[in-house]
């Protein structure tokens, strides 16, 4: 793991504590008394934490995590109000959950992103909140042994005040639901990215077409038949067509690709696209507003 220099530490505004050679190093328990209460969620593999946090950092500046015995959730709209993100990590998908009530934790994703890049795939990770310190907490345990390894890196980050209006999830009865291989979807969008900053999806009961038009007559199109092996599910009631910002979709897609085998695509003419990414520890739902055709 790369060494931190003093400049990076100042930028992250994080208090860092490292220990090595202590059995169960970094183990945190919920203590009695409000001043010592620490809530944690243990992820058995660090890759989920790494890529979920990196994906959120691509579209959000700040947001509130809601932590409870049921798990971790987040609902936030980006500053341009083009996209909406919903994160759900149920406690049943985690290795250990240590929390007895519901807390809301405001974080800055610029700082979280720097920490997430330090997490390796096999590391175990605790995230949570230290109520006594009033800090967001992240502990990265080296290797798959977790606390038993006796080696960890612990970060405390300031909790920020985030003013968040009530954000209703769009209630749309989508006529299109396609569950597509992430590799195929990512490849198709990468080619479109070379042509334009917008992508158009056209679908009918027999096929799914992805296309992009650029300056100087440049044009790209790829079509998949409904029976293509790229699809795990293909449900289309009638023809639909809509365009979206390619940057918004690609920013999320790139980060979620390493932990998702499939992506569920739902859209309708002149309606937001709904992309659902399922990973080992939970799911992330991402809405992007349409662009004019």
Query: What pLDDT is attached to residue 146?
Result: 60
What proportion of the chain, given as a percentage, has pLDDT over 70? Answer: 85
Query: What pLDDT is attached to residue 75?
Result: 96
Residue 168 in contact with residue 74, Cβ under 8 Å? no
Which tens digits make up the pLDDT trace of 20-60? 333 233 322 333 334 478 999 999 989 999 999 999 999 99
Query: What pLDDT is attached to residue 167?
Result: 81
The whole-angstrom separation of Cα 45 and Cα 42 is 9
The whole-angstrom separation of Cα 233 and Cα 210 is 17
Domains of the chain: residue spans and CATH: 6-158 (3.10.150.10), 176-291 (3.70.10.10)
What is the average pLDDT value for the chain, to the nearest integer?
Answer: 87
What proportion of the chain, given as a percentage, has pLDDT over 90? Answer: 77
110: tokens are 């610029």
> Which residues pair with residue 157 across a beta bridge?
136
Confidence class for position 272, pLDDT limits 50, 70, 90: very high
Query: What pLDDT is attached to residue 165?
Result: 75
Confidence class for position 144, pLDDT limits 50, 70, 90: low
Residue 154 in contact with residue 26, Cβ under 8 Å? yes
């Amino acid at each position: 793991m790369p060494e931190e220099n003093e400049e990076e530490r100042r930028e992250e505004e994080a208090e860092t504590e490292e220990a090595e050679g202590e059995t169960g190093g970094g183990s945190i328990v919920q203590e009695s008394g409000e001043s010592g209460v620490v809530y944690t969620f243990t992820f058995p593999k660090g890759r989920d934490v790494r890529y979920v946090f990196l994906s959120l950092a691509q579209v959000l500046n700040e947001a509130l995590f809601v932590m409870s015995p049921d798990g971790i959730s987040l609902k936030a709209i980006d500053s341009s109000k083009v996209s909406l993100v919903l994160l759900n990590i149920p406690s049943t998908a985690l290795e250990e959950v240590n929390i007895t009530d519901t807390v809301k934790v405001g974080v800055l994703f610029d700082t979280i992103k720097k920490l997430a890049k330090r997490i390796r795939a096999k590391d175990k990770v605790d995230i949570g909140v230290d109520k006594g310190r009033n800090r967001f907490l992240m502990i990265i345990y080296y290797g798959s042994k977790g606390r038993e390894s006796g080696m960890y890196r612990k970060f405390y980050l300031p909790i920020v005040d985030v003013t968040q209006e009530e954000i209703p999830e769009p209630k749309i009865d989508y006529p299109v639901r396609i569950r597509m291989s992430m590799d195929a979807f990512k490849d198709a969008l990468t080619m479109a990215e070379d042509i334009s900053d917008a992508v158009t999806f056209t679908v009918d009961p027999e096929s799914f077409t992805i296309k992009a038009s650029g300056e100087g007559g440049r044009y790209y199109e790829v079509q998949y038949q409904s029976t293509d092996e790229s699809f795990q599910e293909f449900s289309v009631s009638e023809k639909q067509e809509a365009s979206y910002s390619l940057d918004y979709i690609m920013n999320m897609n790139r980060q979620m690709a390493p932990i998702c085998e499939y992506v569920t695509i739902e859209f309708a003419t002149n309606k937001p696209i709904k992309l659902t990414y399922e990973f080992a520890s939970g799911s992330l739902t991402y809405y992007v507003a349409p662009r004019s055709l």
